[in-house]
Structure 1
Amino acid sequence: CGRRHWGHNGAAGVLLARRDEVTGRVTHVVMQHRALWSAEGGTWGIPGGAISDGESAIEGALRESFEEANITSEDIEVVGAYREDHGNWCYTTVFAFEKLGHSVDPCAHDDESMEIKWVPIDDVPKLKLLTAMRTDWPSFRARLDALAAQR
């Protein structure tokens, strides 16, 4: 793919969605405004990072989302995952919903983010997205909508 990758075990992140309590439709997702010094700095993506030795992709994504965005596994429900294979490296996007009755208050926990916040789902394509997120967003949006319809 021509891009530099971090993490010898691959990397993973959480695409966390909030649903309307009445309709169940996805209304918002948590997005991370990446620090200027980082790869593709100044773009928006999801909290995530390198998978540690002995971790599954989901475990790594949950750990990274807590470290970077204060998202706790007790407040979310993992509903699926997508693995993007780059040959000797892969990135796993973990799809999750904020549990009904819970309130996730994401915030930047380290210097890797300028900002982390809930973004209305219809506004995501208007952001300056990380290259991979820009490419994958239409299918991710469709996947979130389909997963929400099943619940």
Structure 2
Amino acid sequence: MSRAQVIVHRGCEVLMVKHRQGGAEWWCLPGGAILDGESPAEAALRELAEECHVVGRVVRPTSVVTYGPDDRHYTFLVDIGDQEPRLGRDPEYEGDRQVLVDVRWMRLDQLSERDRAFLWTAGLLGVGPFGEMVLGWGDAVSCPADPADQGR
């Protein structure tokens, strides 16, 4: 199933939505499934409105990642002006099954390595200040060790 999502930023903060499902929690960009008859950009803006209660304007696409024959993730840089996001809902999950639990502006140092990795594939390096920020990080290795490599 293909997904459309948005990158919305203010300075060095990115708008993120927290999901909780099956005992796991993660932060991701606002987004979700592309419905029949929708373009990826239309889906991205609809998902932003559902999850964050804001209306956006697509500035440009930032990436398309193919995970399988019928599984593409489309990402768009979106402007929301000075609107203030607030937690919405995922209409696929009603009542106590709701998976959205928080929405907030976040700096990269507030996100896990895993959640940041998905931001890079979404095209964050080409957005606003983030490319410059990465150039200043230096050469230190920060990737968590693979447990399978511990015995080698």
TM class by smaller structure: 0.5 to 0.7
Instruction: List aligned pairs for 1:1-150, cutoff 5 A.
Output: 7=1, 10-18=2-10, 26-37=11-22, 41-73=24-56, 76-88=57-69, 89-98=71-80, 102-110=81-89, 111-119=98-106, 123-128=107-112, 131=114, 133-138=115-120, 140-145=123-128
Q: Structure 2: how far apart are the matches of 1:138 and 1:148?
A: 10
Displacement of 1:116 after TM fit? 0.4
Residue 68 of structure 1: how far off its partner (Å): 1.0
Provide the C-alpha distance between the structure 2 equivalents of 1:148 and 1:136, rounded to a whole number of angstroms: 15
Identity of aligned residues (%): 24
| One-letter code aligned to 2:60 | V
Please state how far the C-alpha of 1:77 moved relative to its aligned partner: 4.4
Larger radius of gyration: 2
Structure 1 unmatched ranges of 5 or more? 1-6, 19-25
SS of structure 2 residue aligned to 1:78: strand
How far does residue 63 in structure 1 lie from its aligned partner after superposition? 0.4
Between the aligned partners of 2:49 and 2:84, the Cα distance in structure 1 is 11
**Aligned residue pair count:** 122
Q: Secondary structure at the match of 1:86?
A: strand
Whose relative contact order is higher, 1 or 2, with alpha carbons under 8 Å and at least 6 apart? 1
- TM-score normalised by structure 2 residue count: 0.67
**Partner amino acid for 2:117?**
T
Which residue in 1 is equivalent to 2:136?
none
